Amino acid sequence: MGSIADPVIVPDMFIDLADREVRPMTPVRRTWRLKPTPSRHHPMAFINYITQIQIEFGAVQLLRQECERTGMRKPLIVSDAGVRAAGVLDKAIKALGDLSHAVFDQTPSNPTETAVRAAAKIFQAEGCDGLIAVGGGSSMDLAKGVAIAVTHEGPLKTYATIEGGSTKIRDRVVPLIAVPTTAGTGSEATRFTVITDTERGEKMLIAGMGALPLAAVVDYELTFTVPRRITADTGVDSLTHALEAYVSRRANPYSDAQALAAMALIGANLRTAYAEPHNAPAREAMMLGAMQAGIAFTNSSVALVHGMSRPIGAHFHVPHGLSNAMLLPAITRFGLEAAEARYATAARTTGFADGADRDAMAAGKLADGLAQLNRDLDVPTPGAFGITKAAWDARLAAQVDDPYAPLSPRVALWSGLAGLVMLTVFLTTIGLPLGVVLAFWAVYFLFLIVLTRIFAEAGAGWAWGPMVNVSKLFFKKMN
């Protein structure tokens, strides 16, 4: 980590470039405390890692070895029908040899609590003692949900971040090994899972070290049979992770390094992996880039793209990667002025701009390049997917009122207002007269109306009202 790292701290991971293996120095979790650099005031970064990651062609053959290392005697394999149909699940089962196991292969594209409970029932009935997720982000998210469900009481919403549930999740749950089959979510390297609350029809973000896999077996051979549509959507999803981690208000030197490395790999290889499914170097680069993007945002954050994407996926049943891809160009353009230098660096790193471009030009090329990338990858617009404007507008508040929306470099007003309401309540509880607080906000919003134009680049009008048609504008720009 050079000068930004405290030199007396022992690192968590050993990276062996010769055999492409990332492994922990010790089996216990350590924390790197990073110092802010003089050139930019970063938030303090606390980097938590316990995952042993092995990356190689044919690495799935190490699955039995990993089960023994993590103490699994009878794992539940969590997968989906598509992975089974592609023959990938059979490869994983074959690698286990005669190790006893059970299988749940009914993971939906957007994992629900109902599916989590169904898998948890099999886990308990079969006497399983660990989990292996074989699949994309959906299977890994569902397996993480099962790990929490079988070791914690109550509905999963109890542990949702928005409900203050992260602190209720124990660091140690049942061991989980992740075997990703797509280069997208990076979930094999994150402490997050997203599960749909079946009753409310809303996606729940659940975060905690208990959701971080103990091991990841990253075998890019498993991606050779991934359909082009999924290759495209998951690839843009991983690019979104890297870009949002880099421009997030929680970005720090460690997450920056991972995000930039991921953007370089994805920018150079996504189109090739899409056009040539069996191109091994491109597939390997995409798997590594997706994992690094996952490490980046798990130590920084995602932002407005994901904030809007989650309700779109829950209510319109759009696969997560695809909804991110739909949103990325428009939301990137929306945030350019607030973090121009960072977006410009991202543009150069991904290959959308070059070193000769000034920041303003490079940042603009990033938004244009992302839009062209969507066209090259045949990413449908919301309208082409079948979402009507009326249905979209009905979900406005849910799309921009998300825990991660305020971490964007430019914040949609609705998210800001949620914070203002909470601040108003706080100020009145400590004794300030309500009239004084409201008078202050009146002056503040008058100032906002006069000096701020939300979406100036799209001519959307003055910033006023509890909902500034944030999502309406994005819908118009994306169709």
Tell me what pLDDT residue 390 has.
80
Tell me what pLDDT residue 398 has.
62
Residue 44 counted as domain residue = no
Q: Are residues 178 and 318 in the same domain?
A: no
Q: Are residues 191 and 338 in the same domain?
A: no
Gap between the Cα atoms of 314 and 320, Å rounded: 9
Taken in order 11, 14, 15, 20, the sign of the CA dihedral is negative
Q: Per-residue pLDDT for 209 more than 90?
A: no
Which pLDDT tens digit goes with each residue over 219-254?
A: 999 999 999 999 999 999 999 999 999 999 889 999
- Asked which of 222, 237, 254 is the last residue of a domain, the reply is 222
Helix, strand, coil percentages in the chain from 3-state DSSP, rounded to 5: 55, 10, 35
Q: Per-residue pLDDT for 467 more than 70?
A: no
Of 45-49, 246-250, 284-288, 468-472, the range with the highest mean pLDDT is 284-288
Question: Cα-atom radius of gyration of the chain, to the nearest Å?
Answer: 22
Confidence of residue 471 (pLDDT cuts 50, 70, 90): very low
Of 40-44, 107-111, 166-170, the range with the highest mean pLDDT is 107-111
> How confident is the prediction for the chain on average, in pLDDT?
80
Tell me what pLDDT residue 433 has.
79
Residue 63 counted as domain residue = yes
Higher pLDDT pick, 53 / 35: 53
Quick one: which of 474, 253, 456 has its CA closest to 336? Answer: 456
Residue 365 counted as domain residue = yes
Side chain identity, residue 69 = R
Residue found by looking up tokens 């970005």 in the block: 251
Tell me what pLDDT residue 121 has.
97
If one counts every other C-beta atom within 10 angstroms of the C-beta of residue 162, the result is 14
Higher pLDDT pick, 201 / 234: 234
Residue 457: φ, ψ to 5°: -65, -15
Token pair recorded at residue 53: 């990651």
Higher pLDDT pick, 221 / 203: 221
Tell me what pLDDT residue 409 has.
75
In sequence order, which ranges of 134-223 are alpha helices (DSSP H)?
137-149
Residue 453 counted as domain residue = no
Whichever domain contains 74, its CATH number is 3.40.50.1970
If one counts every other C-beta atom within 10 angstroms of the C-beta of residue 268, the result is 16
Residue 34 counted as domain residue = no
Q: Are residues 316 and 194 in the same domain?
A: no
Tell me what pLDDT residue 166 has.
85
Gap between the Cα atoms of 17 and 12, Å rounded: 16
Whichever domain contains 323, its CATH number is 1.20.1090.10
Q: Are residues 308 and 207 in the same domain?
A: no
Residue 169 counted as domain residue = yes
Q: What percent of the chain has a predicted confidence (pLDDT) above 90?
A: 50
Mean pLDDT, range 106-135, rounded to an integer = 96
Q: Per-residue pLDDT for 410 more than 80?
A: no
Residue 175 counted as domain residue = yes
Q: Are residues 218 and 340 in the same domain?
A: no
Q: Are residues 322 and 193 in the same domain?
A: no
Q: Are residues 215 and 311 in the same domain?
A: no
- Asked which of 388, 407, 426 is the last residue of a domain, the reply is 407
Q: Are residues 73 and 167 in the same domain?
A: yes
Residues 455 and 469: beta-carbon distance below 8 Å:
no
Domain coverage including residue 335:
299-407
Gap between the Cα atoms of 83 and 211, Å rounded: 22
Residue 359 counted as domain residue = yes
If 0-12 CB within 10 Å is exposed, 13-18 middle and 19+ buried, where does residue 102 land? middle
Q: Are residues 306 and 163 in the same domain?
A: no
Confidence of residue 428 (pLDDT cuts 50, 70, 90): low
Tell me what pLDDT residue 312 has.
80
> 471: part of which helix (H) or strand (E)?
helix 470-478
Point out the least confidently predicted range of 2-11, 128-137, 234-243. 2-11
Tell me what pLDDT residue 478 has.
58
Helix, strand, or coil (residue 220): helix
Q: Are residues 55 and 176 in the same domain?
A: yes
Q: Are residues 56 and 203 in the same domain?
A: yes
Token pair recorded at residue 151: 């070791």
Residues 326 and 478: beta-carbon distance below 8 Å:
yes
Higher pLDDT pick, 112 / 420: 112
Higher pLDDT pick, 211 / 4: 211
Which pLDDT tens digit goes with each residue over 257-275?
A: 999 999 999 999 999 999 9
- Asked which of 407, 425, 441 is the last residue of a domain, the reply is 407
Q: How many domains does the chain have?
A: 2
Q: Are residues 69 and 213 in the same domain?
A: yes
Tell me what pLDDT residue 472 has.
46
Mean pLDDT, range 315-342, rounded to an integer = 88
Tell me what pLDDT residue 15 has.
33
pTM: 0.75
